[in-house]
Structures are given as C-alpha cells and as structure tokens.
C-alpha cells in the first residue's frame, strides 16, 4: 500500500519524506488555506516546493467547477512538474474533465468520492486515482472501510486500473484496515502515520535493554 501525506505543510512533508516511506502528497484548497497559502501564483509556487521535496505523485486540486475552467487549470498545473496529478471533484463536469485528461495521458485524482457509483463513473472516465473520504463517512455513522472494499470489488470485477486512494484518514486503525482490505493508497496526516510506530511495550522494552546495557558498562 502506498503512503501519501495529506497536507500542504512543508515541514510535515519533509519529515515524512525523511522517514523513507512516503510515496506522494495530496492537498486540497482547505489544506492550502490552513498554511496561509493564497493567490494563484503563491499556490503554484507552493506546489513546486512540494514537488521538490517528494519522490512521488503530488495531487493539486482545480478550483473551477465548469469543464473549460477545469481543463485550463489542469493543463497549467501539470506544467509545474511531472509529479503533478490533477485533482478533480466528482461532479458531472468533473467526470467530463476526467475523460478529457485521460485521453491526453494526464493523470487525475477524482476527489470527494462518497459512494461506489461515483467511484464506478470515475473509473469509467479513466481516473488514475479515486479518493473515497473514509473519515467523513465515519463521521456520519457510515462505514468508510466498507466503501473501500466495495470499490475494490467492483474494480476487480471489471479489471479497472484506477487506484483506490483512501482519503480522510483520521487514525492509525484506518491505515491498518485499509491495508487489510487492500486499498492501493492511503493519505493521512503525519501524526496518524507516526502513530503506527508507537507501542508501549516497545518503549518499555527499549528502556529495559538500555538500563541493562548501562548496568554492565558502568
Ligand atoms: C483528500 O485528498 C483530502 O485532502 C482529505 O483526505 C480530506 O480529509 P479531511 O476529511 O480530514 O478533511
């Protein structure tokens, strides 16, 4: 399973890259705003800064909601760097944009996926990735992981090569569950990724090993 970090924070991206397990980055307009990155030029520069840090795909989201605007923005975004994947919302215009970009060999990530039907449409339109938001589904008492399983089954049935990118990951169990059901990618914040490291028995065990070493060497 690929690990993407879901942030526009350059320090977090550097930290995850340094860990050596990072396969890419996802961003969205809210994450950009959270870092105080506003205005088209600054946003484009920020995408370039992200691309310069990571080895892997960097999803950059279009703001337009009409087809022409999505195409114009997407074509500008992919000029920034070869790592850019154009992030397109799941709307009627978005599906047309996915089809347009797949015909041009431009990679896409269809965002705001909340149902298997949406994921099926995105795959038929040639999306490279679909992003089901599992955390936001869990927030409204709907099983996000069950949606991932359902999409994987549908894609397997028909041999779609669209990758299932589990998004809106909120805690380490989401990552484990995504890995259990075979999600192709998960994207989450740095703290959730780092939470995978932690176990109290590891800390206790290490403390004891070091104490015993120091007894023998003091
Ligand atoms: C996906 O690409 C989105 O950026 C993201 O995962 C949304 O997560 P949230 O529900 O925590 O905002």
Pocket lining: 135 vs ligand 1, CB cutoff 6 Å? yes
The reply to whether the predicted model has a pTM over 0.90 is yes
- The complex's ipTM? 0.96
Residue 59 phi/psi, 5° resolution?
-80, 125
Matching residue, tokens 């041999």: 159
Q: pLDDT digit string (tens) for 163-214? A: 999 999 999 999 999 999 999 999 999 999 999 999 999 999 999 999 999 9
Q: pLDDT digit string (tens) for 11-24? A: 999 999 999 999 99
Q: pLDDT digit string (tens) for 37-73? A: 999 999 999 999 999 999 999 999 999 999 999 999 9
What is the homologous superfamily of the domain 2-216 according to CATH? Answer: Aldolase class I (3.20.20.70)
Which residue ranges make up each domain of the chain?
Answer: 2-216
Question: 186: which residues sit within 8 A by CB, 6+ positions away?
Answer: 1, 2, 3, 4, 165, 166, 167, 169, 174, 175, 178, 179
Contact 86, 110 (CB under 8 A): no
Q: Provide the pLDDT for residue 125.
A: 98
- Nearest CA to 113 out of 96, 129, 100 is that of 129
Q: Provide the pLDDT for residue 153.
A: 98
Q: Mutation test of ligand 1: which of 5, 28, 108, 186 has the most ligand atoms closer than 8 Å to its C-beta?
A: 28
Catalytic hit among 2, 87, 124, 208: 87
């Amino acid at each position: 399973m690929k690990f993407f970090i879901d942030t526009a924070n350059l320090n977090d991206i550097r930290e995850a890259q340094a860990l050596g397990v990072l396969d890419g980055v996802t961003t969205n307009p809210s994450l950009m705003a959270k870092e105080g990155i506003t205005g088209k030029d600054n946003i484009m520069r920020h995408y370039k800064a992200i691309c310069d840090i990571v080895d892997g795909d960097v999803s950059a989201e279009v703001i337009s909601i009409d087809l022409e605007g999505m195409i114009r923005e997407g074509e500008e975004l992919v000029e920034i760097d070869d790592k850019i994947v154009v992030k397109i919302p799941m709307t009627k215009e978005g599906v047309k944009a996915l089809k347009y970009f797949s015909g041009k060999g431009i990679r896409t990530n269809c965002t705001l996926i909340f149902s298997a039907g949406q994921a099926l449409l995105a795959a038929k339109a040639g999306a490279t990735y679909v992003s089901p938001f599992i955390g936001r589904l869990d927030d409204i008492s709907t099983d996000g992981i069950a949606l991932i399983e359902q999409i994987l089954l549908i894609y397997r049935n028909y041999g779609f090569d669209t990758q299932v990118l589990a998004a809106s990951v909120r805690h380490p169990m989401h990552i484990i569950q995504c890995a259990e059901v075979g999600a192709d990618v998960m994207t989450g914040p740095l703290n959730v990724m780092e939470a995978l490291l932690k176990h109290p028995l590891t800390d206790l065990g290490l403390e004891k090993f070091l104490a015993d070493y120091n007894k023998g060497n003091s």
